[in-house]
Structure 1
Amino acid sequence: MGDMTDSASPMSPARVLTVAGSDSGGGAGIQADLKTMLALGVHGMSVIAAVTAQNSVGVQGYWELPAEAVRAQLDSVLGDIGAQAVKTGMLASPALVETVAEALGGYAAPVVVDPVGVSKHGDTLLAPEAVETVRHRLLPVATVVTPNLWEVEQLTSVKVEDEDDLRRAADAVLALGPRWALIKGGHLPGAPVDLLTDGVTEHRFTAERHDNRHTHGTGCTLASAIASYLALGEDVPGAVGQAKEYVTGAIARGFPLGAGIGPVDHAWRWR
């Protein structure tokens, strides 16, 4: 029979798993995650934890999947295909947070946690009783956690008023157990600054503020981009730097969709 290996057979790309909610409008959630992963050259896989009915003007409803359905998806993907990085997004309830934390706690791949608490439109996406579970179960398994300022306050009660508060916020988040905290300062006045720290080294990322209201999916996209670059072998500061570049370009080219807030453009590098 000879050598069965075919030298022309393609290599499998790096694999990244997202565990999050589905966005029917296609701009955020699982859909944003998979588009980001494709754009960055990794193979995206998904565990759907919740289904949302949402569009450009808001979230009209969401339905959690049963914990056993989420666990089965996790076991199915990680048991056979495996992942070089995992990203978590909307997990909605204590049972789902617990299920995901348990599955990822024993899995040897970097985990990027986007602690989704509220949508771009101000709709709550995390039950109040789930905040404690995120704090005590999910953050300790995180390689990087990527809260915005509202989520920082929700998790730590630290209110960030200006750039000087970013380190205090990061230290409060790190006290909950993740290896790195990326505090997203985009909602502060002035030039946007994000602070990344592991408690020892500190990296600040600045970007131009684009006059564009079509920013739906920014947080999901950033966390997925970080996970993608980690899967490709970058260290955490390198992955965050490259992810920021990708997201900044996507925001600059965000486009109108429906009557409300349009999405960032995941395909901006191809257009």
Structure 2
Amino acid sequence: MIVMSIAGVDPSGGAGVFADLKTFQAIGVYGTGIVTALTSQNPYKFFSTQPVSPEYIEEQIDSVMDAYEVEFIKTGMLYSPEIIKLTAKKIREYNLKAVVDPVMVATSGGDLTGGDIADAFNRHLLPNSILTTPNVSEAERLSGIKINSKEDAVKATELIDCNCFITGGHLDGINVINIDDEITIKKQELIETDNLHGSGCNLSSAITAYLAKNNSLMDSCLKAMDYVYEGIKNGNYGTLIAKI
């Protein structure tokens, strides 16, 4: 079972491709990683971003697909509309099933994009993907509405052109999942912690890994929620191998 992450590099290892690879390994699948951008950041401060050219990203994807059979992928930081369009093109070309984490802002506060890319997600990537996992802020940008309640989150999932899992970290722990127009609400206890860096990356990569292990999309979402919850509680996603 071989999966792929298309995302940026976080040198602190808590988010991006490095975090995705650790999650893939913890859940028991082999991970490959396509780098879309370099960042200088840590869990507490964001410094800068240096994007990779779309042409070189395409060559990375082609090189992996030349050697491996990959069905499920996740995307994270894609930086620009051009990279989003390229990713959508490669998804179609290789008939990939993509879980999209629509990363726009780092947990530490830095803007991880080269402009307003919500429109590019909506026009190019989400219609070619099987799930997107925005937080409340990202879901607001994708849906065009403010989200202040569970009912608002449900409405937002209906406006986003993709199966959608709005995470509940900024909605009192209320997670809203819309798969094939069926709404599921899952409330989790919020944990008082500073250990949230990369939680969105780990969620989407865990969903991807569970899909590769023949779980349904809903079961993959629920198992990934538990995985991330345990990672936040224990302060380290990479130590969860024995619990999976």
Instruction: Please classify the TM superposition score into its range, dividing by the shorter chain length.
Output: over 0.9
Amino acid paired to 1:197: N
Which has a greater percent of helix?
Answer: 2
C-alpha spacing 1:133/1:225, structure 2 compared with 1 (3 Å):
same
Q: How does 1:54-65 map to 2 (within 5 A)?
A: 54-65=41-52
What is residue 166 of structure 2 aligned with on the other side? 183
What is residue 186 of structure 2 aligned with on the other side? 205
Structure 1 residue runs of 4+, over 6 Å off?
none
Identity level (%): 32
Amino acid paired to 2:84: V
Q: Is the 8 Å Cα contact of residues 16 and 227 (structure 1) preserved in structure 2?
A: yes
Q: Is the 8 Å Cα contact of residues 5 and 76 (structure 2) preserved in structure 1?
A: yes
CA offset digits 1:1-57 (Å, max 9, x no partner): xxxxxxxxxxxxx11100000000110000110000000000000000001011132
**Unaligned ranges ≥5, structure 2:** none
C-alpha spacing 1:130/1:40, structure 2 compared with 1 (3 Å):
same
Amino acid paired to 1:237: M
Work out the CA distance in 2 between the residues paired with 1:166 and 1:156: 10
What is residue 216 of structure 1 aligned with on the other side? 197
Root-mean-square deviation over aligned CA pairs: 1.4
Q: Is the 8 Å Cα contact of residues 86 and 109 (structure 1) preserved in structure 2?
A: yes
CA offset digits 1:199-243 (Å, max 9, x no partner): 532222222211212111100000000000011111110100111
In the alignment, structure 1 residue 267 sits paired with structure 2 residue 239: yes
What is residue 70 of structure 1 aligned with on the other side? 57
Structure 1 residue 95, shift from structure 2 partner: 1.4
Q: Is the 8 Å Cα contact of residues 203 and 237 (structure 1) preserved in structure 2?
A: no
Work out the CA distance in 2 between the residues paired with 1:154 and 1:197: 17
Q: Is the 8 Å Cα contact of residues 7 and 35 (structure 2) preserved in structure 1?
A: yes
Structure 1 residue 83, shift from structure 2 partner: 1.1
Work out the CA distance in 2 between the residues paired with 1:129 and 1:123: 14
**Unaligned ranges ≥5, structure 1:** 1-13, 255-263
Amino acid paired to 1:242: K
Q: How does 1:242-253 map to 2 (within 5 A)?
A: 242-253=223-234
**Bigger radius of gyration among the two:** 1
Q: Is the 8 Å Cα contact of residues 43 and 107 (structure 2) preserved in structure 1?
A: no
Q: Secondary structure at the match of 1:266?
A: helix
Compute the TM-score of the two structures, normalised by the length of structure 2: 0.95
Work out the CA distance in 2 between the residues paired with 1:199 and 1:234: 16
Q: Secondary structure at the match of 1:47?
A: strand
Compute the TM-score of the two structures, normalised by the length of structure 1: 0.86
Structure 1 residue 82, shift from structure 2 partner: 2.2
Work out the CA distance in 1 between the residues paired with 2:151 and 2:182: 16
In the alignment, structure 1 residue 109 sits paired with structure 2 residue 81: no
Number of equivalenced pairs: 243
